[in-house]
Amino acid sequence: MDNLLKFIITVLLSLLFIRYCNGGEFIESKSFIKFLVALDPNNVLNVDRNALLSYPCCYKLHGVKCDSRSEEVIEIRLENMNLSGVIDAESLCKLSNLRVLSLARNKIEGTVPESISSCKSLTVLDLSSNFLSGNSLVLMQSLTRIKNLKKLNISKNNFTSSQHITSLHALRRVTIKESSSSTTVSDDKKTKNHHVSLMVWVLISLGTVVVLVVLVFLYMRCVGTVKDKEVIKEVVDYPSPRKTPLDEVVDGVCDTEEKSSELYFFMEDVEKFTMDDLLEATANLTKQGICSSLYKVHISRSGVFAVKRLKKLQVGFKEFSRTMKKIGNLKHQNVLPLVAYYSSNDEKMLIYKYQNSGSLLTLFGNYAEGKWNFPWNLRLSIAVGIARGLAYLYRSSKKGNVIPHGNIKPSNILLNENGEPLISEYGYYKFLDPDKSCLYKDNGYTAPEKMLTEETDVYSFGVILLELLTGKVVEKTGLDLVKWVKSIVREEWTGEVFDSEVANYEMYAFPLLNVALKCVDRLPEERPTMTEVLEIIEEIVNDQEDISPSSMTSFESTPGSMKHVYAL
């Protein structure tokens, strides 16, 4: 009797295993194989489609991931597989729990059907580097109906219309951020179907007197399973303990705090607009990084604005709003004024007036290409302007409540129509997550200690001052300018370190070089404050009778002036 019982248990466990591997709806299995046949008509993947039809999740197809409980397909990652078919969106979207679809770097042809908008569970869609065609704007309109979509990449295809001109409304929910999600517990109908299918397999497999014994055993086992599932469901549905304030911070927003749905304005000379106006405006994506995106936005009745969309912020609503209001009230001719800001649980945006004259990095590039002269007077004017702006930021901060900039570099020094520098992107770097590679980049402007302090901003300013003196640019080249300059002046102070436009002003350039080298000292405590740096630079300005900070306005009307060079 014991041997018979062992045999029954073994048979039953085998049947349960077979049933487990056949998990999921048969309809979804057919949909998955139909999608795969259309995508891979030549069977490059070399799969047994009959086996895949019966055992879609136990087949262990490379790049296909299933939910461990419901045995439904949740991820399809078939990248760089030489697939040359088309996308059967109708079959694809019958995979109700599919969250990730990545078909990048293949040879997929045809269009992306509008019916892909029926894939309601998709959070990640990557179709880049294929031969797909069609109108990208029509496709974007379809994709915006997928409410859970967080990451989208359709680049390097044959789509018509610009992929960079779109509306913020279309891009609002589609970000570089990839969010995780979880599937829900199967409903009662699926549970009942599983039990019916299980009974059918038992009856077909046994067919003898032993079946009666197995059925009794199976019945008892099913009763226990139902009870176990009820207990598990109670645990899943039971309210979780109250979260701590740290746990409640999701995507940088504290759930217990109030969330704004409107823009907060600071500048009186700007005609105010609403969030709907902003989202409906035409926007040009000009820069995209890990932690932020920058748009050039045209609002018909208000003008052209630069909209900075921030990601991965580690801050609650109240603290962010308090900081932005402090920054919005700063008024200095060398600090780019904040027009408005927006903060919600989904995103945070900073809005500035767009500067047509570009940045200091643009000026360096045009000078290197021979498109624009970069005389000593203009360099000195820019140096003193940046120093005045930074010194103002630190003087305006209350003791113990200083907000360092954290990212001083030429591309963040904008230029107005008169060539005067404007410090941009101030105030939000302290909210970035240091674990997301947003802070402390090894970009040549970051101090060795990699901290957010005045000393690190002084170091970054010192590098820019060296760029103005030598004509060599660190940004986009990776040059270790500090090391290069120190190697030149180690033996003796020589004019060979200076750019040709600076060489005729050595009596003023050498004091500036001395200041710059003090700013880039490896020891933070040995660096001067921005106030001390400003005092020295202003002494040099005062010693030069032919320059004043306002004299650069004369450049506006000259041929090849900054207005002519940078106007878009």
Does 299 lie in the same domain as 419?
no
Closest CA to 441 of 402, 394, 474: 474
- Asked whether the predicted pLDDT for residue 451 surpasses 80, the reply is yes
Identify whether 503 is part of a domain. Answer: yes
Q: What is the CA radius of gyration of the chain?
A: 32
Question: Beta 249-250 vs 253-254: how paired, if at all?
Answer: antiparallel
Does 322 lie in the same domain as 254?
yes
Identify whether 35 is part of a domain. Answer: yes
The CATH number assigned to the domain holding 380 equals: 1.10.510.10
Identify whether 149 is part of a domain. Answer: yes
Does 523 lie in the same domain as 391?
yes
Does 489 lie in the same domain as 383?
yes
The CA dihedral of 392, 397, 398, 404, to the nearest 10 degrees, is -130
Question: Beta 165-167 vs 421-423: how paired, if at all?
Answer: unpaired
DSSP of 177-238, one letter per residue?
------PPPP-HHHHHHHHHHHHHHHHHHH-SHHHHHHHHHHHHHHHHHHHHHHHHHHHHHS
Distance (Å, whole) CA 311 – CA 253: 11
Identify whether 242 is part of a domain. Answer: no
Provide the pLDDT for residue 334.
95
For 128-181, write each residue's pLDDT tens digit.
999 999 887 788 878 888 888 888 898 899 888 644 444 444 444 444 333 333
The CA dihedral of 336, 340, 344, 346, to the nearest 10 degrees, is -60
Identify whether 179 is part of a domain. Answer: no
- Asked whether the predicted pLDDT for residue 185 surpasses 60, the reply is no
DSSP of 426-482, one letter per residue?
-S-GGGB-GGGT-SS--SSSS-TT---SHHHHHHHHHHHHHHHHH----TTT---HH
- Residue 356 and residue 296 in contact, taking contact as beta carbons nearer than 8 Å: no
Provide the pLDDT for residue 400.
60
Does 502 lie in the same domain as 397?
yes
Distance (Å, whole) CA 65 – CA 458: 50
What amino acid occupies position 35?
F
For 27-86, write each residue's pLDDT tens digit.
677 888 888 889 988 888 888 766 655 556 666 678 888 876 767 888 999 999 899 999
Instruction: Look at residues 333, 353, 373 and tell me which one is the last residue of a structural domain.
Output: 353
Instruction: Look at residues 353, 373, 388 and tell me which one is the last residue of a structural domain.
Output: 353
Distance (Å, whole) CA 458 – CA 395: 14
- Residue 327 and residue 427 in contact, taking contact as beta carbons nearer than 8 Å: yes
Distance (Å, whole) CA 390 – CA 457: 8
Does 381 lie in the same domain as 344?
no
- Residue 519 and residue 531 in contact, taking contact as beta carbons nearer than 8 Å: no
Identify whether 176 is part of a domain. Answer: no
Distance (Å, whole) CA 544 – CA 371: 27
Q: For tokens 């790049």, what's the residue? A: 63
334-348 burial string, b = 16+ CB within 10 Å, else e? bbbbbbbbbbeeebb
Does 265 lie in the same domain as 232?
no
Closest CA to 418 of 552, 567, 566: 552
The CATH number assigned to the domain holding 119 equals: 3.80.10.10
Provide the pLDDT for residue 3.
57
Structural domain count, the chain: 4
Distance (Å, whole) CA 272 – CA 302: 7
Does 367 lie in the same domain as 345?
no
Order the strands of the 340-343 sheet from edge to edge. Answer: 165-167, 282-288, 292-299, 303-310, 348-353, 340-343, 264-265
First-residue to last-residue Cα distance in the chain: 90
Give me 412's structure tokens. Answer: 């963040």
For 340-351, write each residue's pLDDT tens digit.
998 887 678 899
Does 154 lie in the same domain as 196?
no
For residue 10, the enclosing domain spans 2-171
Question: Beta 340-343 vs 303-310: how paired, if at all?
Answer: unpaired
- Residue 116 and residue 92 in contact, taking contact as beta carbons nearer than 8 Å: yes
- Asked whether the predicted pLDDT for residue 558 surpasses 50, the reply is no
Does 156 lie in the same domain as 264?
no
Provide the pLDDT for residue 176.
35
Distance (Å, whole) CA 144 – CA 399: 47
Cα distances from 375 to residues 240, 448, 539, 549, in angstroms, run: 66, 31, 19, 14
- Which of 9-18, 106-115, 254-263, 458-467 is predicted least confidently? 9-18
Longest dimension (CA), the chain: 112
- Which of 298-312, 514-528, 540-554 is predicted least confidently? 540-554
* Residue bearing the bigger pLDDT, 169 or 296: 296
For 385-414, write each residue's pLDDT tens digit.
999 999 999 888 766 677 888 889 999 999
Identify whether 549 is part of a domain. Answer: yes
Does 253 lie in the same domain as 228?
no
Distance (Å, whole) CA 387 – CA 351: 24
Instruction: Look at residues 302, 334, 353 and tell me which one is the last residue of a structural domain.
Output: 353
- Asked whether the predicted pLDDT for residue 271 surpasses 50, the reply is yes
The CATH number assigned to the domain holding 282 equals: 3.30.200.20
Within 10 angstroms of residue 360's Cβ, the number of other Cβ atoms is: 23
57-66 burial string, b = 16+ CB within 10 Å, else e? bbbebeebeb
Does 85 lie in the same domain as 50?
yes
- Asked whether the predicted pLDDT for residue 521 surpasses 90, the reply is yes
Identify whether 444 is part of a domain. Answer: yes
Q: For tokens 């002036």, what's the residue? A: 561
pLDDT class of 274 with cuts at 50, 70, 90: confident
